[in-house]
Each structure stands twice: as structure tokens, then as C-alpha cells.
Structure 1
Amino acid sequence: MRADTAASPVPVAPAGLSRRARRFVEMNGIRVPQQGIRRHRDAWIEHGVPASEIDRAAAFQDRWGGLALPPAPFYEGGPRILDADCPEGSAAEGWSFPAGSCRVSMAYGFMIGPDGAFGIDAYHWTPLHASADGWVESLALADHAGRWARTVTRIKGKDVESLDLHGYEPVPEVQGLTDTWWRGKDSLIALYRGEAIGFDAPQCLEAHVYGGLDEWGLHGG
């Protein structure tokens, strides 16, 4: 659906997501009307923004613009509504654009980087997932794991580094970069490293361990 057309409050999940993520978007998401960004194209080009970068932001808006999802379990809930805006950067450093406004006042924003990664612009740029799709997949997995786990354990700071991931395998659909998900015999582990790396603050490391999962709880998608 194009972001500059009327929106249905009940979203249709974009193609290419896992079944779990499609179900999460369509059952928990709301699509709110958006003005669209193509109307700013000429003005942005006059201010030096490359047309290719505007097209990239518009493609994001077509796919995700106006989608409101439940809060993430970290990063103060993540973007309130996925929504692109004017790209910023330079030819030397690369161009990024906002991925959506924050739910609360924060020291960083959510961005789509030069290579399409979804991340946070904190003390420095920190990519979390290889794409916005990966971010949405991670939200869906957290929602799924939270529903089916018998126990949820939160580990913070230096204790995160002591987690033993032997016998675990990465969950590929979240496209993890700084943040990753790991699947074990009867548990899932989410590692949130973004704030720790973005602010050079190891105390911000956090892991969520979802235990007591059966086969459906481990995969379910």
C-alpha cells in the first residue's frame, strides 16, 4: 500500500515476512493515515538531498509508513509509528532517514542507515537489524516468546557476557546485527546490545531468556 493514499486501520502485512510476523502485524498493528513524503521531493532535492535517497525513504514509507505496533521490550518501546522523513547525511558519510518518532523523550532516534539497516542514532550510529523487516520480526518473536514461555529472565550489565550460547543457533529471520536472537533446546534468548554499543556503556547490556518452551513456542512461525 502506498503511504500517500488513504489507510485502512487494519493493516495487511507486507510480503516477505514470516508467518509469525504477518500474524503479529495483522492482529496487533494499526495503520494510521499518512500524508506521504513524495510531496516534499522537489523541496528536498533543492536542499541537496539526492533523488535516490528520497526514493529509498519513499519505498520504506510505502512498506511500513503509518504502522503502529505494540511496544518493544527494550529501547523504551521502539518507534511509536513507523514513519520515514527527510534523509540526512552526505556523500562521504552516507545517507540515513528517520524510521519513526519515539514514544518518549530519548537521547537517540530510530533510523534507517545507508545500507538499509534499522538502528539507533545514539552517541554514534548503531545498526540493530539488517532491515526494518528484521526489527518487526524481532517484535513478533518477543511477543510470541512472551506468550508461550514458562519463565522470562532478564539479565543486565556484565552478567550478559557470561551467558553460555553453546548449543544455541541464531534465529535468522530477525536479521540480527548488534541485537540477536538465539534458539536452544527449550528456550529463546534475546540479546540487546544496541544501547551499550551506541553509548559505549556496557552497563546497558540486557538479555531476555525465555524458558520452558515447547516446539510451538520455539518456532511457531
Structure 2
Amino acid sequence: MTAATSISPIPVAPVGLTARARRFVEVDSVRVPRRGLGQHRRKWIEHGAPAVEIDRAAVFQDRWGGLALPPAPFYEGGPRILGAGCPEGSTDEGWSFRAGSCRVSMAYGFRIGSDGAFGIDAYRWTPLHASTDGWVESLALAAHAGRWAKTVTRIKGKAVESLDLVGFEPVPEVQGVTDTWWRGKDSLIALYRGEAVGLDAPRCLEAHVYGGLDEWGLHGG
């Protein structure tokens, strides 16, 4: 392979992730060659992007650019490859930039908001997790829970609102905003609200309930 098409089969996980997420990145993901943003800086500034926003995109690119993660269990798999796009401004939401290319043709894309949140730009901007770290942690947790759960139940639409979360605690590492994870005695619940909120479509609510987990299945890193 040439340098332009080679991949790194064992990417180094960014500092700050849990052990579970580090394993997920380093074992289940690949890193393709990532482009630096320096070559685009002048053009982006000419198009009106503030230097500070370009710097913010460059930090994202250095940390996550080129990382190809396994498909997410929702959102049509999530971004195919993480990578920063040109910052774009909005009077209501401030500056944001594209977080990566979609796997399929979709009604929305994935972006990094003005506060660093990872979310979707659907009918409205909808932050899913407070950071990209949280998004990656959620993918790692879904892969882990799916591997160790004895049962996996998917609940859709209005039925999601009737889920009883008494006795459950939020999983902090996923940094949930619109999407959240909950840990119970022997189960984990993922609540995917992003499409329902972002597209103003309650039918898109979905929850995944992972049951029959032991201590390792509940935590595992």
C-alpha cells in the first residue's frame, strides 16, 4: 500500500478514556491517514471562520481525526470516519464543525457544538453527549454490554417513556445530554432520544435494555 492508503490496525487511544473505551478503540477500531488542517486554514479564514474556531477544530482533528470506529447501534451507525470540517457559524447556536462523514445518506449529520458537545444537526441542533469522549464511551459500553448480556431488548416509540428507571443510576463516563445510559442491579439501559428531539419525531425514541449482566458485564472497565 502507498502512504496515502495505508491504515494503522492498532490505533493508540486518546488519553482520558476508561479502560473499556481504550480497549474498544485499540482493538475494534482502525486509524486511517488523517489530514492536517493547516492547508485549509487560510481558505477557512477567508470564508469567515474565526481563527479560534479553526484552532478548536484542529484540536479535535489531532485527537480523533482518521479514527474509524465500529458502527453505532443507532443513528445509522454514526460517523464512518471521525474528522473535522470547516467551522460554520449560527446566531442561535454559535460555531460548530462537522465531526465526520456519514455511512449512508441521511437527513442529518454529526457535528461538534460550540461547547464541544457531540451531536446531530437535524431539524435542530441536538447535543447527544457533552464531548466526543462521551460518544466513544457510549459505543464502547454498547459493544461491551452486547457481548456480556444474556438478553437484549429493543423498545421503540412511546413505550420508551414508560421505562421504570427507579433503582438505576446514570453512567457518568458517557457524559449523556440527550442520550443517556443507566446502570441497574443486573442490567444496563441505553436511551436514544436524539432523533426524536432533533427531528421532532417521538416515534424515533428507542431504548436498548441489556439484561442478565454480572458485575463484570455491568462495569468492565
Give the TM-score range, shorter chain. Answer: over 0.9
What are the equivalent positions in structure 2 for 1:1-221 lying under 5 Å apart? 8-90=8-90, 93-221=93-221
| Structure-2 separation of matches of 1:103 and 1:26 | 21
Letter in 1 for 2:39: R
CA contact (8 A) 2:87 2:98 kept: yes
In the alignment, what sits opposite 1:3? none
Output the TM-score relative to the length of structure 2: 0.95
Per-residue CA deviations over 1:165-218 (Å, capped at 9, x if unaligned) read: 000000000000000000000000000000000011110000000000000000
The one-letter amino acid of 2:112's match is I
Q: Which amino acid aligns with 2:62?
A: D
SS of the aligned residue for 1:89 comes to: coil
Task: State the secondary structure of the residue aligned to 2:178.
Answer: coil
For 1:127, give the aligned amino acid: P
CA–CA distance in structure 1, aligned partners of residues 9 and 185 of structure 2: 38
Contact conserved, 1:119 with 1:129, CA < 8 A, in 2?
yes
Q: Secondary structure at the match of 1:41?
A: helix
What is the CA-CA distance between 1:7 and the residue it aligns to?
6.7
> Hey, what's the Cα distance between the residues in 2 that align with 1:91 and 1:202?
27
Which runs of no fewer than 5 residues in structure 1 stay unpaired? Answer: 1-5
**Alignment partners' CA distance in 2, 1:92 and 1:156:** 31
Q: Which amino acid aligns with 1:192?
A: Y
RMSD between aligned alpha carbons? Answer: 1.2
Identity %, equivalent residues: 82
Deviations 1:32-70 (A, max 9, x none): 002221211111111110000000000000000000010
Following the alignment from structure 2 to structure 1, what is the Cα–Cα distance between the partners of residues 120 and 64?
17
Shift of 1:91: 6.1
Would you identify which runs of 4 or more consecutive aligned residues in structure 1 move more than 3 Å?
6-9, 90-93
Unaligned runs of 5+ in 2: 1-5
Query: Number of residues paired by the alignment?
Result: 216
Tell me the TM-score normalised to structure 1 length: 0.95
Task: Tell me the SS of whatever aligns to 1:13.
Answer: coil
> 2: distance between equivalents of 1:93 and 1:177?
16
Matched letter for residue 181 of structure 1: W
- Following the alignment from structure 1 to structure 2, what is the Cα–Cα distance between the partners of residues 93 and 206? 26
Q: 2:7 touches 2:30 (CA, 8 Å); kept in 1? A: no
- Contact (CA 8 Å) 2:83, 2:99: kept in 1 or not? yes
